[in-house]
Structure 1
Amino acid sequence: MKCHRVNEVIELLHPEWKKDPNLNLVEFLLKLAEEAGYKGKLEDLSDDILIYHLKMRNSEQQEEIPGLAKDKEEDFKTALLRARGIID
């Protein structure tokens, strides 16, 4: 994991963990993994799962995932032309 990823995880984790101060770190990570629907071993939990889950944890169910909204096109034809590099 790169340093900026560690910083991002800590920055996102800190305010959420403060809401559950009675849990130790491993218990809190297990809770986050369960909320995210992760079924594997804790040691295989990726930082991407943690980051996206923490970013989306307090958002509405229908809210778009950060990073995907910037690429959204309302019109299929425009999306297709942009994907093929015909328009910018």
Structure 2
Amino acid sequence: MACHRIEELLELLAPVWQKEQELNLMQMLQKIADQAGFKGPLTELTDDMLIYQLKMGSADEGAMIPGIQKDYVENYDWKAAILKARGIDEE
């Protein structure tokens, strides 16, 4: 795992762990895995899953994923975009 991933994970984990300081690291990771619906062994828990759960865990269920939200366009006309990409101008 690259250093920036470790830093991001620690930055996201710190405030969550501060709320439940009585838990050790493995208990905290298990709690996050349970919240994410992860059923496998903790050795298979990925940093991506932890980071995603820590970022999105407190968001509304219908909230958009931050990486997708930046590219989202309201009322996008897919048909016109496909036709334009194929060189067909629909006017």
Distance 1:37 1:6 in 2: 22
How many angstroms does 1:21 deviate by?
1.0
Structure 2 Cα separation of the partners of residues 70 and 6 of structure 1: 24
Q: How does 1:29-48 map to 2 (within 5 A)?
A: 29-48=29-48
Aligned length: 85
Offset of 1:71 from its aligned partner? 2.2
Tell whether 2:41 aligns with 1:8: no
Match of 1:77 in 2: 79
List 4+ stretches of structure 1 deviating above 6 A.
Answer: none
User: Alignment RMSD, CA only?
Assistant: 2.2
- Structure 1 residue 72: Cα displacement: 2.0
Gaps spanning 5+ residues in structure 2: where?
A: none
Q: 1:85 to 1:43 in 2, by over 3 A?
A: farther
- Give the TM-score, by structure 1 length: 0.84
Ranges in structure 1 where 5+ consecutive residues have no aligned partner: none
With normalisation by structure 2, the TM-score equals 0.81
Distance across 1 between alignment mates of 2:22 and 2:58:
20
Which of 1 and 2 has greater Rg? 2
Would the alpha carbon gap of residues 71 and 39 (structure 1) be closer, same or farther in structure 2, given more than 3 Å must change?
same
- Counterpart code for 1:42: L
Q: 1:68 to 1:79 in 2, by over 3 A?
A: farther
C-alpha change, 1:71 and 1:23, in structure 2 (3 Å) is same
Change in 2 beyond 3 A, CA 1:5/1:79: farther
Deviations 1:9-65 (A, max 9, x none): 000000001111111110000000010011111011000000010001111111111
Residue identity matched to 2:40? G
